[in-house]
Amino acid sequence: MALTFRLASIPKMMTTTSVISSADHWDHFIARIGIRRDKHLVTPGLYRLGAPKADSMVFVTANYTLSFDALRASLIGVDAYILVLDTKGINVWCAAGKHTFGTRELIRRIKAVHLDEVVSHRKLILPQLGAPGIAAHEIRQQTGFVVEYGPVRAADLPEYLKTHRATTEMRKVTFPLRDRMVLIPVELSIILLPALVVIGIGYLVGNLPFALAVLMVILCGTVFFPMLLPWLPSHDFSTKGAFLGVIAAIPFVLSVLLQHADWSWYRQAGQILGYLLAMSSSIAYISLNFTGSTTFTSRAGVRKEIYTYIRPMAVCFGLGLTSLIVFAFVH
């Protein structure tokens, strides 16, 4: 009777596989382009992968579909348990920063699924990028489970599991061109519609250079910035974006000087200043979106950067836009 009661108290375990279906690939695609951004999640809880036993490994991940699918796809042929935390559909690294992939949630989930009754060992394998949100000593004190940090990338798990020792490369966080380009569709989807409205207005009122400048800001802020990130000077993302904005404004500066040589010097100066200030501040602002996409930054550093530059950005944009409007009509 006691055994029957104990088994009945354990929540029903879910089942998954290492196969990524066409529906999964479609979900990944629409997630990458920013559609239904808060809907790409799986049910938190304990999953059975293959035919695990009491001594099978337990992996911990977020309930963001891309994180969950990356983990299970890397465990082909492995019989294991996957403990999915409720991170509100946010990936491991970002959730660790927000503490939804955190100590309290991990302890709560271990107890909720009665993990100590499912497995005979007391070891959890967590992704390395989840470490900022986890106090391993508290996990051990309150649950008896020991935290082991796996490699940065789930794709390295097959090699890691041979020795349970990570190489230097497995611990290294990189942000190569391919990973940076993956971010472009999401950022474009956020800004594209309002930007197209502004471009259309500029074109309809007969100010084609203004419309082209807005288009240039979009391309530089969402496409060229992530691609050129390592090579842009300075440390802060804002100043990197501002530098790129100055470069982007050069064709419009030359246009004012060459195509409008008949303008008065102060009208030329006003338009040039307007393009430089408005474009550099706009691209600097858009570039802040990428601070949350790379481990090159920290929460404290991002907060400091925002507080440092957001007001100067607003002032520069206001002055630049005013200058463009005013000196477009002043003769």
Average pLDDT, the chain: 89
Q: Rounded mean pLDDT of 240-247?
A: 96
Q: Which residue has the higher pLDDT, 32 or 131?
A: 131
**Separation between Cα atoms, residue 250 and residue 276, nearest integer Å:** 8
Tens digits of residue pLDDT in 270-318? 999 999 999 999 999 999 888 766 666 666 777 888 888 999 999 999 9
**Adjacent-strand bridge partners of 59:** 82, 125
First-to-final CA distance of the chain: 94
**Residue 243, pLDDT score:** 97
* Spatial separation of the C-alpha atoms in residues 295 and 143, rounded to whole Å: 30
Evaluate if residue 4 carries a pLDDT over 60.
Answer: no
Does the pLDDT value for residue 256 go beyond 80? yes
The overall pTM is greater than 0.85: no
Choose between 260 and 250: higher pLDDT. Answer: 250
Of 307, 250, 303, 255, give the one whose Cα is nearest residue 279: 250
Helices 237-259 + 265-287 axis angle, to 10: 150
Dmax over Cα atoms in the chain, in whole Å?
97
| Distance of alpha carbon 136 from alpha carbon 285, whole angstroms | 37
Residues of the chain with CATH 3.40.50.11600: 2-173
User: CB–CB of 176/229 below 8 Å?
Assistant: no
pLDDT at 38 exceeding the cut of 90? no
Could you read off the pLDDT of 175-223 as tens digits, one per residue? 888 888 888 888 888 788 888 888 887 777 657 888 899 999 999 999 9
On the question of pLDDT at 234 being above 50, the answer is yes
Tens digits of per-residue pLDDT, 98-128?
Answer: 889 999 999 999 999 999 999 999 999 999 9
pLDDT for 127 equals 95
pLDDT of residue 128: 94
Mean pLDDT, rounded, for 58-71:
96
User: Could you tell me which CATH class the domain 2-173 is placed in?
Assistant: alpha beta
Contacts of 121 (CB under 8 A, 6+ apart): 55
